[in-house]
Each structure stands twice: as structure tokens, then as C-alpha cells.
Amino acid sequence: MREFELSNAQWHKSSYSDGDGGNCLEVSDNHPGVVPVRDSKTPHGPALVFAAPGWRAFIDAVKSGHLPAA
């Protein structure tokens, strides 16, 4: 498993996050080739790191409605 240095990550909350502090997702876009993702409620907790093409495919699927509703 590869580890990434995220102490200098610039995090951005998703524009689709709830305004009430729940269900908030943050991403960092200053890492070439990968996209770190974390829960904004636990900023010092773990982050998942996705390959940029995989993250883009996920976002495209969400936007186009190709993922089943939970």
C-alpha cells in the first residue's frame, strides 16, 4: 500500500454537501495523478486516495445518473 503526504493538502468541500454539517465530502486537487477524499467531519481522520481517472469516471457516473440510488 502506498502512502501519500497530505499535510499540505488544500481541501475543498463538495458543492453537493449538506448545509447542516452532515454528509460532507472534501477533496484535494493539488496532487498530480491522484485525488484524496475525506470526511469533513473528521479532518484529521483517514483519507481515501483514488487514481485521478477512476475518480473522474465516478464523478461522471454520478452526474449522469448511472449509479443506483441507495
Confirm whether 3 is domain-assigned: no
CA distance 42 to 59: 22
Q: What is the pLDDT of residues 11-66, one digit of tens each?
A: 998 776 666 666 788 999 888 899 999 998 888 889 999 999 999 999 899 889 88
Instruction: State how many domains the chain has.
Output: 1
| Burial label, 19 (beta-carbon count in 10 A; 0-12, 13-18, 19+) | exposed
Q: Is 60 helix (H, G, I), strand (E, B) or coil?
A: helix
Report which of residues 3 and 55 the model is more confident about. Answer: 55
Whether this prediction's pTM lies above 0.75 is answered by yes
Q: Which domain holds residue 36?
A: 11-64
Confirm whether 41 is domain-assigned: yes
**pLDDT for position 15:** 72
CA distance 41 to 29: 19
